[in-house]
Amino acid sequence: MKTTQTNSKYVEWLSAEEMHEASKEWLSELLFIKDEHLFFEDLIKSYTLQLIEPEKFSDNKEVIDVLNRSQKRNNLLIEAIKVHENELQIIVDGVNQLKEEKAYRNSHQGLIKEIKEFQTNYRNLKTQLFDIIKSIKKEDKRNHLLDNK
């Protein structure tokens, strides 16, 4: 099966308003993800003892490392979008600067790809984290029920 690349020329057709709205939406999503990262940190702190059990430690450590890398990547993307948003003036200033405008549109296209890839990886990370916490909660519940018998 072959995959085809889409959206290659789509960015050139986007208006300044559409690119501005996309940037605002990305920033909003990334700021929300930043808050989720804080939630996950608290969750990890709450279940530290279960996460460091020897038989699960290496897998859990890897997921926590991925979370840390995700936080760093998220912060970099937030800064990149803020810079990108500030550079929108090149498009709306009314001066024909074809090279700069094309570079801005290419930058926007690159951000589209980066944000999409980041979101996909982040969804996978969330799934892994919730699976780990869910298994811990099930085990705790099972142990609690066994203790009550």
Distance separating alpha carbons of residues 88 and 99, to the nearest angstrom = 14
Lowest mean pLDDT among 3-12, 45-54, 115-124: 3-12
Distance separating alpha carbons of residues 97 and 128, to the nearest angstrom = 46
Q: Which contacts (CB < 8 Å, 24+ apart) does range 114-118 have?
A: 114/77, 114/80, 115/26, 115/29, 115/30, 115/77, 118/70, 118/73, 118/74, 118/77
pLDDT tens digits, residue range 37-95? 999 999 988 888 888 888 888 888 888 999 999 999 999 999 999 999 988 887 777 77
Q: Is 149 strand, coil or helix?
A: coil
Burial class of 14 by CB neighbour count within 10 A (0 to 12, 13 to 18, 19+)? middle
pLDDT on residue 4? 45
- pLDDT at 121 exceeding the cut of 90: yes
Contact 67, 40 (CB under 8 A): yes
Residue type, 94: G
- Domain boundaries defined on the chain: 14-148
Alpha-carbon torsion, ordered 80, 86, 91, 95, to 10 deg: -140
- pLDDT at 7 exceeding the cut of 70: no
The mean pLDDT of the chain is 86
